[in-house]
Amino acid sequence: MITTTHYLVLSAALFTLGVVGVMTRRNVIIVLMSIELMLNAVNINLVAFSHQLHSAVGQVFAVFIVVIAAAEAAVGLGIILAFYRNKETVNIDEMNLLRW
């Protein structure tokens, strides 16, 4: 029997993977993908609780998050493309235009 706890463990594992990806990788695209991972971990969490509490609110939030994730991916990729055209790199350490 798969309980809510299983879902939460999976979600926590996925979220941790995302965080580690964001912290450690130097490629912006991979950082972006890691952020997607974190978003989806949250989604799993929401759907799990929705299932447990027999409430549709969590699923509605999940759908919202999917939409936001899509928009975020589009905007993020656009920024990366523009950045790449200027700097010819996608290394995140090169992205420091706003430092003093």
Partner 1 sequence: MDLIWLIPLLPGLGALVNGVVGIRAFSKRTAGLVANATMAAALLLSLYAFWQLLGLPAEGREHTVRVAPWISSIPLALSNGTVGSFSIPWGFRLDPLSGMMILVVTGIGFLIHVYSVGYMHGEPRGAYARYFAYLNLFVFFMLMLVLGDNFLVMFVGWEGVGLCSYLLIGYWYQKKSASDAGKKAFIVNRIGDWGFIVGMFLIFSTFGTLDFRAVANAAGAMPVESAAFGTLSLVTLLLFVGATGKSAQIPLYVWLPDAMEGPTPVSALIHAATMVTAGVYMVGRNAVLFSHAPMTMEVVAVVGVATAFVAATIGLVQNDIKRVLAYSTVSQLGFMFLAMGVGAYAAGAFHLMTHAFFKALLFLCSGSVIHAMAGQQDMREMGSLKKYMPVTYVTMLVGTLAIAGIPPLSGFFSKDEILYRTFLENKVIWGVAVVTALMTAFYMYRLMSMTFFGNYRGPAWEHGGGHGGHGAWHGPHESPRSMTVPLQILAIGAAIAGFVGIPAALGGGNAIEHFLAPSFEARATLSEAAHAAEPGGAPATAGASLAAAAGEHAVTPSSSDEGGHAAEHISWAGEMGLMGLSVLVGIVGILTAYRIYVRAPEIAERLARRWSGAHRVLSNKYYVDEFYGATVVSGTIAGANQLWTVDRVIVDGAVNGSGWLTVFSAWFSHLVDKYIVDGLVNLVGAVLEESSFLFRRFQSGLIQNYALVMLFGVFTFVSVYLLVR
List interacting residues with partner 1 (CB under 8 A): 19, 22-24, 31, 92-93, 95-100
H helical segments located in the chain: 4-24, 28-53, 57-87
Give the phi and the psi of residue 90 in degrees, each rounded to 5: -120, 15
> Closer to partner 1 at the Cβ: 31 or 46?
31
Placement of tokens 């949250």 in the chain: 42
> Closer to partner 1 at the Cβ: 34 or 43?
34
Rounded-to-integer distance, Cα 96 and Cα 68, Å: 26
The minimum distance between CB 100 and partner 1, in angstroms, equals 5
> Closer to partner 1 at the Cβ: 55 or 91?
91
The minimum distance between CB 60 and partner 1, in angstroms, equals 25
Q: Which residues pair with 74 in a beta bridge?
A: none
The minimum distance between CB 98 and partner 1, in angstroms, equals 7
